[in-house]
Each structure stands twice: as structure tokens, then as C-alpha cells.
Amino acid sequence: SGRKNRILKIDVQNYVKEALRTLEAGGGGGGLNLLPWPEVDFAKFGEVEQRKLSKIKRITGANLHRNWVKIPHVTQWDEADVTDLEALRKQLNAAEAEQESGIKFTVLVFVMKALADALQKLPTMNASLTEDEQGIVIKQYVNIGIAVDTPNGLVVPVVRNVQDKDCVELTRDLMELSGKAREGKLTKDEMSGGTFTISSLGGLGGTQFTPIINAPEVGILGLSRSEQKPVWSGDAFQPRLMLPLSLSYDHRVIDGAQGVRFLNQFKESLAELTKEMQG
């Protein structure tokens, strides 16, 4: 506003005031000034069909949008060697089938146990930001949410106190909660209290993806389909079954080095669990 369009002190002060007003006005949406959503008459271009989103999809969508906008995500990709674990799993399932116990172990159960160990050894990943974002709350328990695909949309039942349960107990919990999820019978209590979440797409395929953090948690682990890969053993390439891992974390709480250390610890915990169960 100065002579010859020079910027004066008052111009800077006014700019800062306006920026602060914008942030305050947009606080509920992460302080973003977004363009309006484009309005398009799709019927002009051809035949269309309009369907309503299910109630679950509407609620989930709103939560995912909030989490994606307000949480600075970083996704770290890695692979875990599950060759020995898969052999153990098949052996255990054969024994359970002979006993007609109804128990069928999945890789997910072993992942949960290894995660509980890693979360207790590196507990910052088992934390939540305080409301004022000036500190974190670290939980001394491990409650793992499992994202379950249902006909009506995504739900996340929570398996509680994973650190205190063995693989048989976890399998029973998963079977019960997954059944309730598919039947639409989960209670609010069964979908609350999680400290960390797993999103497993291994049964469908894919390699890596970017799972969205389930606030107020600070991390989520994505699992994709295991595949055979040649791995150098020191003197030759050996075929190994590798499980793709996609770890998303809140960069306000977890930095890159912590994310890598956590995945390394998880892989170590998974290998140790396999050795323990092999006897």
C-alpha cells in the first residue's frame, strides 16, 4: 500500500491477521481453504445409475476424510520373511484338524502377537496425542483393531489385551468378532478402545498400499499378499516367502527413524515367535 507499491509494516501486519483469521475459521477442517466440489451433470454424457452409500460407508468415509486431512501421514514399506512361519502354520493346522478343535490359524494371528511384542518394546507407536497436541498418552496395554470388509462396508472390531493372550485365544477372538462383523452384530464396545490397527488385504492380492491411520491412534500396519522371491543367503539366491508390510504413522509423533526401527523390531519379534513355537 506504500508509494510505488512498496510493502509497508502495516501490510505485513494485516496479512498476518488475515492468515490467523483464516486458520481459526477453518479449524474444524484442519485449517484448509478448499475449492468447492465440482458440480457435474453426468447424465449429459451417457446413462447413469445413482446408489446411496450405506450408513457404515458414510460414517467410515467421514472418519477417514478427517484422519487423512488432519494427520500428516508417512508410509514405510518393508517385507518380512515368513517362510518358516508358513511351514509352522500348516503344521499346527494339520494337528488342530486331527483333533477337530475348530481352530484354524491364520498369519494374522501371529502378526498380532509379534505386533504386541513390538508395541511394548517401542511404546511410542502405541500412543495417542493429547488434546492440546503438546504431549502423548502411552498405553500399557495392546488392543488391536482389525479392519474387516463386510457387505455394508468397513468395520474395525478390537481384540483386547493381545499381549496377554496366546495364538489359540486370539484365533477364537478373531473368529467370533469377524463373524459378528459380517452379520452386522458388533456392539459399540467391541469397536472401541483400540491402540493400533491392522488392515489385511493379503487374501485379495496387491503388493503395498497406504493405509489411513485410525485416529486417535498413531499407527496402522497394512498386510498384502505373500509371494515367493529370490533372497540372497550369502552364497546363493534362495526362494523365500515374503510378506509385504505397509506401516503408516503420524509424523507429529513418529519420525522416519522410529518408523524403520519399529518395522525392524516387528520382523524380529515375528521371527522370535516362530522359533519359540517351533520348539
What mean pLDDT do residues 184-189 have? Answer: 93
Give CATH for domain 71-278: 3.30.559.10
Ranking 19-33, 169-183, 213-227, 229-243 by mean pLDDT, the lowest is: 19-33
Q: What percent of the chain has pLDDT over 70?
A: 94
Sequence-ordered list of residues with C-beta below 8 angstroms from that of 231, at least 6 positions apart, any chain: 81, 237, 238, 239, 240, 242
Q: What is the dihedral of CA 39, 42, 45, 47, to 10 degrees?
A: -170
Q: Annotated catalytic residue: which of 251, 261, 268, 271?
A: 251
pTM of the full predicted structure?
0.86
Task: Please give the mean pLDDT across all residues of the chain.
Answer: 92
Ranges of each domain in the chain: 71-278
pLDDT per residue as tens digits for the range 122-154? 999 999 999 999 999 999 999 999 999 888 889
pLDDT in tens, 218-268: 999 999 999 999 999 999 999 999 999 999 999 999 999 999 999 999 999
Alpha-carbon torsion (135, 139, 144, 145), positive or negative:
negative
* Residue 251 annotated among the catalytic residues of the structure: yes
The contacts of residue 194 (CB under 8 Å, 6+ apart) are 143, 144, 145, 156, 158, 214, 217
55-110: pLDDT as tens digits: 899 999 999 999 999 999 999 999 999 999 999 999 999 999 999 999 999 999 99
